[in-house]
Structure 1
Amino acid sequence: MAVSDRLSARSELTAPSQIPVDDISDFGSRKPSAVTAGLISLTQNLGLSWLGKRLIYLLRRIGLLMMGDCADVTVFGARLRIYPHNNVSEKRVLFATQLFDPAERDALKALAAPGAVFLDIGANVGLYSISVGEAFAAHPETRIVAVEPHPYIYRRLAFNAGLNPAYNITAVEAGIADCEGTLSLTLHGDNLGETRMVQPGMTASAEAITAEKVVDVPVISLMQLVAAQGLTRIDGMKVDVEGFEEKVLLPFFDTAPDALLPRVIIIENNVRYWDVDIVAVAAKRGYASHRISKNNLLLSRDS
Structure 2
Amino acid sequence: MDTQSPFGTYRVSERVRFMWRLADQHKFWRSVRKMVRRASAALYGGPYDAEVEGLRFRLYPGENYDDRKILAKGRLPEKEEHRIIADFLTPGRTFVDVGANVGTYSLFAAKAGMNVVSIEANPVTAEKLTFNARANGMANLKVVECGVGAVPGTFSLWLEPSNSGFATMVEDLTTGEWAGNWKPVSVPVQPLKDILAEEEVEEVDLLKIDVEGFEDRVLLPFLRGRDKTSWPRAILLETNCREFWEEDCLQFLEHGGYRVHAQTKDNLVLSR
TM-score by length of 2: 0.83
What does the per-residue CA deviation read over 1:67-88, in whole Å, with 9 as the maximum and x for residues that have no partner? 3422100022011101111211
Partner of 2:95: 118
Partner of 1:89: 66
Alpha-carbon separation, structure 2, partners of 1:290 and 1:277: 18
The answer to whether the 8 Å contact 1:130/1:167 transfers is: no
What is the identity percentage for the equivalent residue pairs of Structure 1 and Structure 2?
Answer: 33
Q: What runs of 5+ residues in structure 1 fail to find an aligned partner?
A: 1-20, 44-51, 137-141
1:166 aligns to what SS in structure 2? coil
1:264 to 228, 234, 237: 234
Structural RMSD (CA): 3.1
Partner of 1:184: 156
| Residues 180 and 108 (structure 1), Cα distance of their counterparts in 2 relative to 1, 3 Å cut | same
How far is 1:97 from its partner? 4.8
Partner of 1:5: none
Partner of 2:204: 234
Higher Rg: 1
The answer to whether the 8 Å contact 1:186/1:196 transfers is: yes
Alignment of 1:1-303 (within 5 A): 21-36=1-16, 39=18, 54=27, 64=40, 67-98=44-75, 100-136=77-113, 142-166=114-138, 168-198=140-170, 213-269=183-239, 270-290=241-261, 292-301=263-272
| Residues 80 and 164 (structure 1), Cα distance of their counterparts in 2 relative to 1, 3 Å cut | same
Alpha-carbon separation, structure 2, partners of 1:34 and 1:271: 39
Aligned residues: 258
Alpha-carbon separation, structure 1, partners of 2:130 and 2:268: 27
| Residues 195 and 106 (structure 1), Cα distance of their counterparts in 2 relative to 1, 3 Å cut | same
How far is 1:167 from its partner? 5.8
TM-score by length of 1: 0.75
Alpha-carbon separation, structure 2, partners of 1:129 and 1:99: 12
How far is 1:174 from its partner? 0.1
How far is 1:291 from its partner? 5.2
Which one-letter code corresponds to 2:224 in the other structure? D
Alpha-carbon separation, structure 2, partners of 1:80 and 1:262: 29
Which one-letter code corresponds to 1:240 in the other structure? D
Alpha-carbon separation, structure 1, partners of 2:231 and 2:74: 30
Q: What runs of 5+ residues in structure 2 fail to find an aligned partner?
A: none
